[in-house]
Amino acid sequence: MRRGFVRAAGITGGATLTLALASCSLDTIIWGPDGAAVIDTTNRVIAAASAGDATALVCAGAAPEMGAPEDWTGLAAEEPERLVGDHWPDQAALDAAWSINVSLPVDRVAGGTNAPGDLFFRDTDDGLCLVDVAWSTVEFEG
């Protein structure tokens, strides 16, 4: 009888864990809810900028360099982190709270390619908004 209870408790516990994980995205599990929100907002910025209009996601009063729509095509959100002001002093002055790097698709990696490299977000009462974009140039040593 005791063994049956333990087995039932184990099955119930596993089912509860499965339900809990099913309601969370993988990004939420890995990065927590704040990091997942940064990834989600980054993906929305990439999609909007690729379509030529990310203004709805830009913070009031901010003027990030957005480049051309084709600069954003195929970019992928990578690793969000709380802004490190010593590393990004210009963005800290813009009251950015988060930074996230973005990566180029393999077919766009070529020496001299200039593309968005890092995005910076401010926390607001309405959620995250974009305050700046740091551009990167692909360099190859040979």
Indicate the residue type of 129.
C
Question: In the structure encoding, which two tokens stand for residue 120, read together?
Answer: 């910076």
From the candidate CATH numbers 3.30.160, 3.10.450, 3.30.56, 2.30.29, the one assigned to the domain spanning 26-137: 3.10.450
| Beta strand segments in the chain, E | 76-82, 98-103, 114-124, 127-137
What pTM does this model have? 0.81
In contact, 72 and 116? CB cutoff 8 Å: yes
- How far does CA 52 lie from the centroid of its chain? 19
Q: What pLDDT does 74 receive? A: 94
In contact, 137 and 114? CB cutoff 8 Å: yes
Q: What pLDDT does 24 receive? A: 67
Indicate the residue type of 80.
P
> What are the domain boundaries of the chain?
26-137
The series of mean pLDDT values per 10 residues for the chain, 142 residues long, is 49 44 74 93 98 96 97 96 97 98 90 93 97 92 56
Torsions phi, psi for 19 (to 5 deg): -65, -40
Coil, strand or helix: which one is 7? Answer: helix
What tens digit of pLDDT does each residue of 30-41 get? Answer: 889 999 999 999
Q: What pLDDT does 3 receive? A: 57
